[in-house]
Each structure stands twice: as C-alpha cells, then as structure tokens.
Amino acid sequence: MSRRMQAAMYYGIGDVRYEETDIPEIGPGELLIKVGTALTCGTDVKTYKRGHPLLIKHTPALFGHEYAGIIEAVGDGVRNFSAGMRVVATNSAPCGTCFYCKRDMPNLCPSLKDSLVNGAFAEYIRVPEPVVQWNTHPIPDTLSFRDAALTEPLACVVHGIEESNIALGDTAVVIGAGPIGQMMIMLAKKSGASTVITSDLSPLRREIAIKAGADIAIDPTKDDPVTRVKEETDGRGADVVIEAVGLPQLWEQAIDMTRDAGTTVLFGGAASGTKFEVDTVRFHYGQLTLKGVFHLKPKHVEQALELIIAGDVDPNLLISHDMPLKNINQALEMMSKGETMKVAISP
Ligand SMILES: [Zn+2]
Ligand SMILES: [Zn+2]
C-alpha cells in the first residue's frame, strides 16, 4: 500500500486541484524531500493561464518548482546527503557530457529541457538523480526554507545579469517589476549600474521596485517608457535593457530604448508561436546586441545561494504573502493580477 499526500494537481489551463495523491517513489541516486516552503513563480502563473510547452507534457501533473525542505529519504547510492538534512534543490540539471554541456552551456542541455522537475506544491517531492548531483545544496540552520526557496529564480537572474555585462556607471532598464524584475534591479545595482530604471503597470510593483533599488519607476500608462528612458540618457537610450515580462511588444520596446552598441537581454519567455520585429537598419548600423537568456547553470545556483545567505537580496520585498497549499488557486490568481509578489506556500 503506497502512502498518500496532499498536492496541487495541474489538470489544464485554469484548472489546478488540491487533492490526495501517492507520495512519489524514489529510485537509486534520488531524494525524497519533505517540502518546507514552496514559492509561486511567474512561470507557474503562465502555465496556469496558458499552459507550458516544456513543463507540462501530460495531465494531471504535479506542479510547482521552487522549494526547500528536509530530506525524508535517500535512494541507494546517494553519498553526500542523508535523511534529516535541510536542503534546497532546483527543478533541473544538465547531463554534463553532451555537446552543449561540454561548451559551457549546460542550460541548453537537451536532457535538462526533457526532465524539468515539477511537484513543489505538495507535501513531498522526488528529486531525480542528476538534480541531486548538480543542483542540490545543504542550507544553514539560520536560513529559512522560505528564503532558501528563492535560490532557483535568483540563479536565473544571476545568469541574466551575467549575460547583460553591466559595467560600472551604466544606466540599466528592467522592463517588468515582478519578482524576477525586482531581483534584476537588486543585482543590477550590485553589479555597478549607477541608474536603474524600471517600468511596470502595477503600482504595488513600482513601489517595491524603488525599495529594491530602482531610481526611477515608470508608469507606462502615463509616460511612454522609450521616450522617458531617452530623456534620462541624453537621447541615447540605456546601456543595458532587460525585458523580464515575456511579451513580443515589450521585446521591441526593449530594443527601442537600448542605445547603439548597447545590450538588450530578452529574458522573459513569450508564448509559443509569437514573433517580434527588429528594424534592420537600426540593428546593423546601431550595432545592437540582442541576447536571449534561458534558465541557469549549476554555478549560478551556487552564486545565488551565496547571495541569499549573505543577505544581498531582500526576500521580504520578493515574497509578499503566505498561504496554505489548499489556497494555491487563489495564490496564482492574485499573482497573475499583480496583487502579490511571490506567495510562500506551506504544505
Ligand atoms: Zn520559477
Ligand atoms: Zn548535457
């Protein structure tokens, strides 16, 4: 007889149910983690609202991917971990031996994209062997599960900031001040940007952005963001612009507000089948650099955890609500309306 647990199950767009299901079985090299805290993520909201090409392949599916907790059981052959340890783990790992892994692009490893972990909105989560090997880390007793669970999204942000090549004294723009945008703002400042500008429709998010270190928070219903950024930069445009929403029209806006020879980081994942346009003259004669940045590498996970332990990001600006697992629908609805930042979910 298998043991049972409560979990959020994804049945389809807008249909997530809180119900009883089997506790996952673990195999050799794997861990079973008793989830301490899971966090809602913009990706979960997008999955809830429109599905997700990589995350959900069949339904019903376990759901949620940002978590920290206590090891409940270890599979055969696991050496570095034992039951009772407090850990944070991510939702993916590379293989370490493929074409992309060998070229320092483990985030593009095909087996990573094929094996994304879901199931953090549950009492227990199974951690596959590659994730145990690459992206599972013990956490200090002084670090809460709630703060530790920021490791995965922050690691993605560390990756985005690394690719942006922000230099001392730069003006950086972050389009979208959701949790990812807020972390971008915090790390852009840490990376030496002297002026950080953000743009977001939500008054709550603009207010938090200023606390997170933004110098200017544009309300796009009142001010045209491109015009405003150019005004702030002697008409040139910003040195670095990071799009952290995932809408094609905002990708275009990001390019329009980047200065010649500047860098535009297209970080927000857009819906399948969408396209964006770039002016060829501007692209060539303006020597633009456009970078798509996806996910994280194992080193970014280590960097992110160090930043969290050191207090270099403020979790209280990023996590605005605490809710029990049974309220998962409410949490996703509120987050999608911009009424919350991340919600900490307790099983
Ligand atoms: Zn996430
Ligand atoms: Zn690989």
CATH number at 317 reads: 3.90.180.10
Cα 293 to averaged position of ligand 1 atoms, centre (Å): 14
Residue 224, C-beta contacts closer than 8 angstroms, at least 6 positions apart: none
Cα 130 to averaged position of ligand 2 atoms, centre (Å): 11
* pLDDT at residue 268, as a whole number: 94
Cα 49 to averaged position of ligand 1 atoms, centre (Å): 15
Q: Are 259 and 289 in contact (CB under 8 A)?
A: no
Tell me the C-alpha to C-alpha distance, in Å, between residue 322 and each of 286, 325, 340: 46, 10, 10
Instruction: Look at residue 188 and tell me if it is in a domain.
Output: yes
Give me the sign of the Cα torsion angle 265, 166, 116, 56. negative
Same domain, yes or no: 146 and 167:
no
| CATH number of residue 274's parent domain | 3.40.50.720
What share of the chain has pLDDT > 70, as a percent?
99
22 SS3 class: strand
For the chain, how are helix, strand and coil distributed in percent, rounded to 5? Answer: 35, 25, 40
Same domain, yes or no: 178 and 144:
no
- Vertex 27: Cα angle to 151 and 294 (nearest 5): 35
* pLDDT at residue 50, as a whole number: 85
Across the range 271-293, mean pLDDT stands at 96
Instruction: Look at residue 185 and tell me if it is in a domain.
Output: yes
Q: What does the pLDDT look like over 182-234, one tens digit per residue?
A: 999 999 999 999 999 999 999 999 999 999 999 999 999 999 999 999 999 99
Same domain, yes or no: 236 and 174:
yes
Cα 240 to averaged position of ligand 1 atoms, centre (Å): 23
Asked if residue 114 has pLDDT above 90, the reply is: no
* pLDDT at residue 56, as a whole number: 76
More confident residue, 49 or 171: 171
Predicted confidence band of residue 52 (pLDDT cuts 50, 70, 90)? confident
Cα 44 to averaged position of ligand 2 atoms, centre (Å): 25
Instruction: Look at residue 156 and tell me if it is in a domain.
Output: no
Same domain, yes or no: 30 and 137:
yes
Cα 278 to averaged position of ligand 1 atoms, centre (Å): 29
* pLDDT at residue 141, as a whole number: 97
Across the range 322-327, mean pLDDT stands at 96
Of 167-176, 273-282, 331-340, the poorest mean pLDDT is in 331-340
Same domain, yes or no: 107 and 216:
no
Structural domains counted in the chain: 2
* pLDDT at residue 274, as a whole number: 95
Same domain, yes or no: 209 and 338:
no
- Biggest CA-to-CA distance, the chain: 70
Reference 299, options 132, 70, 105, 118; nearest CA is 105
Same domain, yes or no: 266 and 326:
no
Instruction: Look at residue 299 and tell me if it is in a domain.
Output: no
Predicted confidence band of residue 55 (pLDDT cuts 50, 70, 90)? confident
Cα 93 to averaged position of ligand 2 atoms, centre (Å): 9
Instruction: Output the six-digit token pair for 305.
Output: 């955890």
Instruction: Look at residue 209 and tell me if it is in a domain.
Output: yes
* pLDDT at residue 71, as a whole number: 98
Reference 255, options 243, 247, 244; nearest CA is 243
Last residue of some domain: 292, 321, 336? 292
Helices (H) and strands (E) in the chain, counts: 14, 16
Residues in the chain: 347
Asked if residue 311 has pLDDT above 70, the reply is: yes
Instruction: Look at residue 155 and tell me if it is in a domain.
Output: no
> What mean pLDDT, rounded, does the chain reach?
95
Q: What does the pLDDT look like over 247-263, one tens digit per residue?
A: 999 999 999 999 999 99
Same domain, yes or no: 96 and 209:
no
* pLDDT at residue 103, as a whole number: 97
Q: Which ligand is nearest to the CA of 97?
A: 2
Q: Which ligand is nearest to the CA of 106?
A: 2
* pLDDT at residue 223, as a whole number: 97
Same domain, yes or no: 97 and 137:
yes
Half-sphere exposure (CA, 13 Å, Cβ side) for 255?
Answer: 22
- The strand pair at 195-199 and 342-346 is best described as unpaired
Predicted confidence band of residue 53 (pLDDT cuts 50, 70, 90)? low
Instruction: Look at residue 306 and tell me if it is in a domain.
Output: no
Same domain, yes or no: 15 and 146:
yes
Cα 7 to averaged position of ligand 2 atoms, centre (Å): 31
pTM of the predicted model over 0.85: yes
Asked if residue 314 has pLDDT above 80, the reply is: yes
Across the range 40-58, mean pLDDT stands at 84
Same domain, yes or no: 275 and 242:
yes
Reported as type and span, the H/E element at residue 7 is strand 4-12
* pLDDT at residue 338, as a whole number: 84
Same domain, yes or no: 177 and 102:
no
Tell me the C-alpha to C-alpha distance, in Å, between residue 173 and each of 182, 258, 313: 11, 9, 18
Q: Which residue segment(s) compose the domain that 222 sits in?
A: 162-292
Across the range 290-309, mean pLDDT stands at 97
Instruction: Look at residue 97 and tell me if it is in a domain.
Output: yes
Report which residue type is found at 36: G
